Structure 1
Amino acid sequence: MMRYVPHMLLALVLAAGLGLSGCATAPNDPTGQNQTQYNPQTGRVEGAQYTENELAAAISTHLGVSAESAASVIERMFRKQGSPVGYITGQEASGAVGVGLRYGKGTLWMKDGRSSEIYWQGPSIGFDFGADGAKAFVLVYNLNDPDDIYRRFPGVNGSAFLLAGMAVNYQRAEGITLAPIRTGVGARLGANVGYLSYSRKRKILPF
């Protein structure tokens, strides 16, 4: 039992630190390009997608990278995954002492104008050491209903890559794909495997 105490303490420190620092997101979609498309046959808002230019500008602003670096990452993402229907801006804290922990808080922005607060947390196992705190930007694919994002998303093995000083990896569940983009101290490509659980409310324990 005692061997788990350091991990539990680290979880409490990371979660508390993230909660105190708040969430650096704007009250409106950072791209300023909300477009609502209502389908009267299905009774749902659907079909709207972000462009490369919109996302490159949003990434550059939120992560503090150059427009050229953001554009190079988005260009590769569009080639591999196509156009996302939404994205998450937020911040996170993470660390690893044998078993890594990651906590995040942010806002989900949908192209059709919907938005919602979101938290994420989860364990990872690998060669990540220390602790860090950084902003996070997550591309969201194939999500029609924002409520469907509140679930566990396993990481996709072998999907991580580094480009223009940014680390990208994929998470996938029930046909929905998430692509977290991190930079600075958050851009760590340790040999970790695990998952992130996305929720409406903050959770202290990630298990």
Structure 2
Amino acid sequence: MSAWHRPSSRRDLFRFAASAAACAALPGLARANQRPEAFTSGEIVENGHRFFGSISRGLAEGLEQANKKWGRPNAYILGQEAGGAFVGGLRYGEGKMFTRNAGQKPVFWQGPSIGLDAGADGDRTMMLVYNLPDVEAIYRRYAGVNGSAYLVGGLGFTALNNEEVVVMPVRAGLGARLGLALSYLKFTPDSTWNPF
């Protein structure tokens, strides 16, 4: 006798539909919670070249150094941000996080800084994410030391971390900024003005 039988009542039909829906949802839930797969250096440089334009040589050199230290990134974020400082500062940004096997997610970031820092800048930003255990783990605070030294335009690298996860913002933009500051970025799924 077959294990499957045709539903005989409305109650059986609802139970059958609920079981089928639960079974269909399980692969999607497992995929969303699994660790994102790593990207190759070539993929990152190619996407960076499309995003930033002609400055991909500097990106390739910075990526090579980062990969020696942390391995290959398993997510990256493309977006834009703006910041300003006079001793204390603020930075706000928004973008989209890309993963190979867990899809895309919108992300927003904001954070304060304090140090010997003055100026303002607006940047296109690519953030390389290393050791991300799952896509939801991006939504935390990442701290580090941020250095800026450019007039009119430039390309800058920073490394921020929270335990084993490292976020490396690569910024290319316009403005005038000079300084060295302690800072953190807080990543959130929704936009907020609160940097803390």
TM-score (norm 1): 0.70
Please say if 1:182 is aligned against 2:171.
yes
Contact 2:113 2:181 in 1 (8 A): yes
Counterpart CA distance in 1 for 2:116 and 2:46 is 33
Aligned pair partner of 2:142 in 128, 131, 153: 153
Task: Name the residue aligned to 1:84.
Answer: 73
Query: Could you tell me which of 76, 86, 109 is aligned with 1:97?
Result: 86
Give the whole-Å Cα distance in 2 for the aligned partners of 1:132 and 1:160: 13
CA apart distance, 1:66: 3.4
Alignment partners' CA distance in 2, 1:43 and 1:103: 27
Give the RMSD, CA atoms, in angstroms: 2.7
Match of 1:108 in 2: 97
CA radius of gyration, larger in: 2
CA 1:84 to 1:189, structure 2 compared with 1: closer, same or farther past 3 Å? farther
TM-score by length of 2: 0.73
Alignment of 1:1-207 (within 5 A): 45-46=34-35, 48-155=37-144, 157=145, 166-185=155-174, 190-207=179-196
SS at match of 1:57: helix
- 2:88 and 2:36 map into 1 onto residues whose CA distance is 40
> Could you tell me whether the CA contact under 8 Å between 2:35 and 2:132 is conserved in 1?
no
1:161 deviation in Å? 9.2
Q: Is the 8 A contact 1:48 1:85 kept in 2?
A: yes
Q: Tell me if structure 2 keeps the 8 A contact 1:169–1:179.
A: yes
Q: 1:135 to 1:187 in 2, by over 3 A?
A: farther
Q: How many residues align?
A: 164
What residue ranges of structure 2 are gaps of 5+ in the alignment?
1-26
Residue identity opposite 2:95 in structure 1: G
Pairwise CA distance, 1:68:
2.7
CA distance in 1, matches of 2:175, 2:79: 12
Structure (1/2) with the larger strand percentage: 2
Q: Which moved more, 1:143-152 or 1:85-94?
A: 143-152
